[in-house]
């Protein structure tokens, strides 16, 4: 590995991830914390950043490239949205400057779609797609999460994208809806569970009936004492299946999709996409893509010579 070149940060609503990199993008050090926007707003964004840099021995003058909600209206400095379609190298070149006495800091802008019928925004996940563009990828990518994104990438540009609140709906229904008692004590969803597959298939076949299918989880618990594990697996399958059905409705016919995911969601989406008949020719780790995308953005914005890893 080479000498320290720059630092990249993924700073979200509830989390902070920082990597110190050499010019080729190799990780020399990293820091993680739960100092998301709320905590950092109280402590001071620059105070939080510099404390982590100090812990790694990063001195003044080392530039920092950031992405995520740190660039939102409630973040450190707002990085205004760029309108789709937009080239990802342009996204990197137009990062927002953050005033600092210690170093050069940039925040990547998000991307907006301003169609009144289908307004949409993406902030943070576009960095993962930037890593795809670096690989010369074109086509459709699925990025599961609290707010899942389906992004169409063509010749280094984001052509269009669609957001689904799948992860947030799952948590709300599990914890705060009338379904909550039926799901208490459930273990994490097994992608191979028959109830998960059944939920995906049902949502794909009849997305308009999803409200009825969800309430049936409560009825099954009340009338047949349906196990919590089975109910939770079906809930997960229904919501992910609904997302895939929605993506088809908005983006048209599709045969393959690149999956960018980490943790348990990767296996769940891989299984759901297979049930939907969609090939997954490439599966990438989401965190790795964030780091690589930020490195590519730093290379462009800070005019760093490209070095082969």
| CATH at residue 216 | 3.30.420.310
Tens digits of residue pLDDT in 130-173: 888 888 888 999 999 999 999 999 999 999 999 999 999 999 99
Looking at the structure, tell me whether residues 174 and 126 fall in a common domain: no
Q: Are residues 9 and 128 in the same domain?
A: yes
Q: Are 113 and 120 in contact (CB under 8 A)?
A: yes
Instruction: Answer yes or no: is 154 within a domain.
Output: no
C-beta neighbour count of 271 within 10 angstroms = 19
136: left (phi over 0), alpha (psi -120 to 50) or beta: left
Mark whether 68 and 185 lie in a shared domain. no
* Distances from the Cα of 230 to the Cα of 184, 187, 244, angstroms: 11, 10, 21
- Shared domain for 180 and 274, answered yes or no, is yes
pLDDT at 308 over 70: no
Residues 128 and 222 in one domain: no
Global pTM reads: 0.93
Residues sharing a CB contact under 8 Å with residue 302, sequence separation 6 or more, in sequence order? 6, 63, 65, 104, 106
Are residues 125 and 190 part of one domain?
no
User: In this structure, what CATH number is given to the domain that contains residue 110?
Assistant: 3.30.420.300
Same domain (yes/no): 10, 130 = yes
Please check whether residue 60 is in contact with residue 90, taking contact to mean a CB–CB distance below 8 angstroms.
Answer: no
How many other CB atoms are found less than 10 A from the CB of residue 69? 20
Same domain, 292 and 257: no
**Mean pLDDT across the stretch 207-225?**
97
* Amino acid 133: pLDDT: 84
Q: How far apart are CA 270 and CA 47, in angstroms?
A: 40
pLDDT at 172: 98
- Say yes or no: 111 and 222 in one domain: no
The answer on 10 and 92 residing in a single domain is yes
Same domain, 12 and 57: yes
Computed over every residue of the chain, the mean pLDDT equals 95
Is residue 308, in this structure, part of any structural domain at all?
A: no
pLDDT value, residue 1 = 59
Instruction: Give the domain extent around 190.
Output: 166-281
State how many domains the chain has: 2
């Amino acid at each position: 590995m080479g000498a320290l070149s720059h630092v990249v940060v993924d700073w979200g609503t509830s989390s902070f991830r920082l990597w110190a990199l050499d010019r080729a993008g190799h990780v020399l050090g990293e820091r993680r914390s739960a100092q998301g926007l709320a905590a950092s707003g109280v402590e001071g964004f620059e105070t939080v950043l510099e404390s982590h840099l100090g812990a790694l021995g990063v001195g003044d003058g080392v530039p920092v490239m950031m992405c995520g909600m740190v660039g939102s209206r409630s973040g450190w400095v707002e990085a205004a949205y760029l309108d789709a379609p937009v080239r990802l190298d342009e996204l990197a070149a137009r990062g927002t400057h953050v005033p600092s006495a210690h170093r050069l800091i940039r925040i990547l802008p998000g991307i907006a779609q301003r169609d009144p019928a289908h307004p949409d925004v993406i902030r943070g996940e576009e960095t993962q797609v930037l890593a795809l563009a670096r690989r010369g990828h074109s086509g459709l990518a699925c990025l599961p999460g609290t707010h899942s994104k389906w992004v169409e990438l063509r010749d280094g540009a984001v052509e269009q994208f669609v957001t689904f609140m799948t992860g947030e709906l799952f948590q709300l229904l599990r914890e705060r809806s009338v379904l909550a008692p039926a799901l208490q004590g459930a273990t994490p969803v097994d992608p191979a569970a028959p109830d998960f597959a059944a939920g995906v298939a049902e949502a794909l076949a009849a997305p308009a009936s999803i409200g009825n299918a969800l309430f049936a989880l409560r009825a099954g618990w009340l009338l047949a004492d349906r196990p919590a594990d089975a109910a939770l697996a079906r809930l997960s399958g229904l919501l992910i299946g609904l997302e895939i059905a929605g993506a088809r409705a908005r983006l048209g016919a599709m045969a393959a999709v690149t999956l960018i995911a980490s943790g348990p969601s990767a296996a769940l989406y891989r299984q759901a996409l297979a049930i939907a008949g969609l090939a997954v020719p490439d599966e990438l780790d989401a965190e790795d893509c964030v780091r690589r995308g930020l490195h590519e953005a730093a290379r462009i914005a800070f005019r760093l010579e490209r070095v082969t890893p």
